[in-house]
Amino acid sequence: MIVAEKKPIEEIIEGIKDYQKILIAGCNECVTVCEAGGKKEVGILASALRMYFMNQGKTVEIDEITLERQCDHEYLEEIRDSIDKYDAVVSLACGVGVQFMAEKYPRVPIYPGVNTRFMGVTEERGVWTERCQACGECILAKTASICPISRCAKRLLNGPCGGSTNGKCEINKDLDCAWQLIIDRLKALGKLEDYEKLIPIKDWSKDRAGGPRKVVREDVRQ
């Protein structure tokens, strides 16, 4: 999932302080799971903002909605009839949702309510870690299903480097060395001989180096 973190309320207030009617829009997908922008967080932010403005002696109307997704036309369409009555929207979706809403509703300013961090997993409630960088050409088949692009600080294709000590990375003693994990797993799978195979230079044009990316599937396209 896409992992995001709540933005400080002060930062959100700074963006919207001059508006009179504001919609707080949550997203029912990834940001709900990582507890940054779901219905619950929408309620908390809306309540906090209402109190802030009331305390400032301002009359600001703050409404709440949580859409199924903010990265699909059909769900964003649900607010088409009501969006014009708002001066601004604070979207608690990831950066994708914020932008798609802005593209769809060009006359309304859309403010981000979260910082989008990475694609990752829930290790335990309240702890999320990165697993994928969407490099565009998955090499997990060659690395025992452990990604050195997202989990090695240097993105080494043939590691580890000299900074790996006792299975930990030199940038942080709590961070596992991805290549140590790869070697350990290859060993456990009885495939340690695969470690001897060098991984060739990667085609980074499929990563961000090639500019914004696009996927077109003619077989499903309408």
Partner 1 sequence: MRLQYPETIRIIKVPCTGKVDIIHILRSFEKGADGVYVAGCLEGDCRFEIGNLRARKRVEEAKKILEVVGIGGERVQMYNLSSSDGPRFAEIADEMTEKIQSLGPNPIKLALKKIAA
Residues found near partner 1 in the complex (CB under 8 A)? 8-10, 40, 43-44, 47-52, 54-57, 59
3-state secondary structure of 24: strand
In the bound state with partner 1, the residue whose beta carbon lies nearer, of 45 and 101, is 45
Q: How far is the CB of 85 from partner 1 (least distance, A)?
A: 21
The residue with tokens 């309304």 is 108
Nearer to partner 1 (CB atom), residue 37 or residue 148? 37
CB of 121 to partner 1, least distance (A): 22
Does residue 112 contact residue 91 with C-beta atoms inside 8 Å?
yes
Neighbouring residues of 131: CB distance < 8 A, sequence distance ≥ 6: 119, 120, 121, 147, 150, 151
Taking the complex as a whole, the smallest distance from the CB of residue 113 to partner 1 amounts, in Å, to 14
The least distance separating partner 1 from the CB of residue 17, rounded to whole angstroms, comes to 13
Query: Within a 10 A sphere around the Cβ of 74, how many other Cβ atoms?
Result: 9
Dist CA 177 CA 137 (whole Å)? 22
Q: Which is nearer to partner 1, 5 or 170 (by Cβ)?
A: 5
Nearer to partner 1, 10 or 218 (CB): 10
**Locus of tokens 């240097």:** 154
